[in-house]
Structures are given as C-alpha cells and as structure tokens.
Structure 1
Amino acid sequence: MVDKVLIVEGTSDRKRVKRVLDEPVDVICTYGTLSDEKLETLILPIEDLDVYILVDADEAGESLRKQLKRELPNATHLYTQKGYGQVETTPVEYLTQVLRGHFDVKEKL
C-alpha cells in the first residue's frame, strides 16, 4: 500500500510530477476547488497518510492551499516559484529539487 499522497490541481500537474517521482505515490487531482462532496471522497480517506500539497503559485492555487490547510492541518506544503506560476510549467529540474527530501526522485530525466 502507498503511504504517501501528493495533492495537485490538475492532470497536467500530475503528469509533470510523475515524470520526476521514483517511488509509488498516489497523486490526487482536485481539479480546482473542493466541494463538500469532494472533501469527503478525496480528503477523508487520506487523513492518516503522509500528505503533501503542491499547487500553482497563483490566486486559485493559494485559495485551494488555504482550504487544504484547514482540512489537512498536518499536510506538508511544497511550493513552486511564483515566476513559474503553474506546476505543469515548472522546469523538471526545479520540481526535482522541490520534491527531493520528501520523495525518491529520478536522478536522470
């Protein structure tokens, strides 16, 4: 069973981080905001796992991050640089640096 979960916003973000990860990790997409229904189906089953949050460095991403901080207070928050904006456009080299130390990452891409 996978004991680490990484929450991202969309499928492009998921593809980007999976290029870098070198271990089995559940990468969950929120597809934007979290409704009460999504909270129950996405968040409740993972509350006791090691949860990491990596969302875009924009207004929508910050709003989602605030909501996730309330729902998952023990989650570890990871950040891309504001200059890169979105996770899907963050250079894989930088993404590797962000994820290293929390996840096993591929040394050569």
Structure 2
Amino acid sequence: MIKEIIVVEGKDDTVAIKRAVEAETIETGGSAINKEVLERIRLAQERRGVIIFTDPDHAGERIRKIIAREVPGCKHAFLTQEAATSRGDIGVENASVEAIRSALVNVRTDYMAQGTEIGWNDLLEAGLIVHPAAAARRLEMGKRLGIGYCNGKQFYHRCRMFQITKEEFEAARRHLDEEEGAAL
C-alpha cells in the first residue's frame, strides 16, 4: 500500500490508480477545485503526505499548480501525454497499469531549493528555450527527468522545485543529443 494519499481529478482516475496499486485517493472534481477539497488535501499532507497525479494537459497542470501553491511539500507523479492518451482523450484514466506504476515509482518531491545549479543559461545551451525545436526538446527532457512537459519558464521552475542536479540535467541532455544525432 502506498502511504501517501494520491490526488486525482475524478472517479475514473481513482479506478485507474486502484487497478495499478493499492492506494487511497482524493478527487478534486476537475478543475473547479474548492476550499473544502484543498482542506482535505492539506490534512492528508500533514498526516500521510500527498502525491499529486493529475492529467498531463492544461487543466491538470492548472490543478497541480493550485494544490502545490496552497499545500506546500507535496510529491508529484507525471505521465507523458502519450502514456495517458486513448482515442484522442488525455487522462490518467487512459494510462496502462505499467505507466501508472512507473509514474509512482518516479515521484518527485516539491521542494523549492535556493541555489539550485540549473540556470537559464543551462536551458539556453541545451536548446530548451529560444531554439526552433525548444518545445520538442523540453518534451523529451521532461520525460527523461520525470518532471513532465511545460513551457520554458515552468521547466526552469520545475528543475529548481524538484532539485534536478546539474549531473541529472547533463545526463538527460547527453542522451537527447545522442538520440538526435543518431536520427540524422
């Protein structure tokens, strides 16, 4: 059984989580997250810890940001859009048992560190911002680092928040560059 309570968007997500692992969930009821739900999440964080596991889409990211802002110290599980898509529908409920388990094994802790080694110049040099293929590169780097896809500013924020080390970042970048080189 997973000790932390997993926060998901809806009932179908709960069903998918329970198919993959033994865990308890809190459902936000979609993007209209209210104070009562936030209070339950806050209590869960204090007593057992929380893993935020929302859909890899705009609404899911919005919910993730609201919860992370209101309830500091949460853990985060991420699915790629590919792993969460079925017949054009994106959501945790569409992910395979293996994809859900993998996301939960690779959970990241929400911790805003001062002096994190990753800087804007690292993102620039890696072609993650101000580059014709920046979005595609961020997508691949987000998969490799386990922090999901996001825009450049949010990618920088997540590198800091999840304490991505310079070594982790450079290893992911090397693999990405090698794969791109092999594809040419």
TM-score range, shorter chain: 0.7 to 0.9
**Contact 1:43–1:71 under 8 Å retained in 2:** no
TM-score, normalised on structure 1? 0.78
Aligned to 2:35: 36
Structure richer in strand, relative to its length: 1
**Contact 1:8–1:29 under 8 Å retained in 2:** yes
Superposition map of 1:1-109 within 5 A = 3-22=3-22, 25-32=23-30, 33-40=32-39, 42-48=40-46, 49-83=48-82, 84=84, 85-100=90-105
Deviation at 1:91, TM superposition (A): 1.6
Aligned sequence identity (%) = 32
Deviation at 1:38, TM superposition (A): 2.8
Larger radius of gyration: 2
Which stretch shows the higher mean deviation, 27-36 or 57-66?
Answer: 27-36
Separation (CA, whole Å) in 1 of partners of 2:5 and 2:25:
6
By relative contact order (CA 8 Å, sep 6+), the higher-ranking structure is 1
Deviations 1:36-86 (A, max 9, x none): 23323x223213122101000111101000001101220111111122231
**Contact 1:7–1:55 under 8 Å retained in 2:** yes
Separation (CA, whole Å) in 2 of partners of 1:94 and 1:3:
19
**Contact 1:58–1:82 under 8 Å retained in 2:** yes
Structure richer in helix, relative to its length: 2
One-letter code aligned to 1:70: R
**Contact 1:7–1:28 under 8 Å retained in 2:** yes
TM-score, normalised on structure 2? 0.49
Deviation at 1:87, TM superposition (A): 0.2
**Contact 2:26–2:41 under 8 Å retained in 1:** no
One-letter code aligned to 2:21: L
5+ long unaligned stretches in structure 1 = 103-109
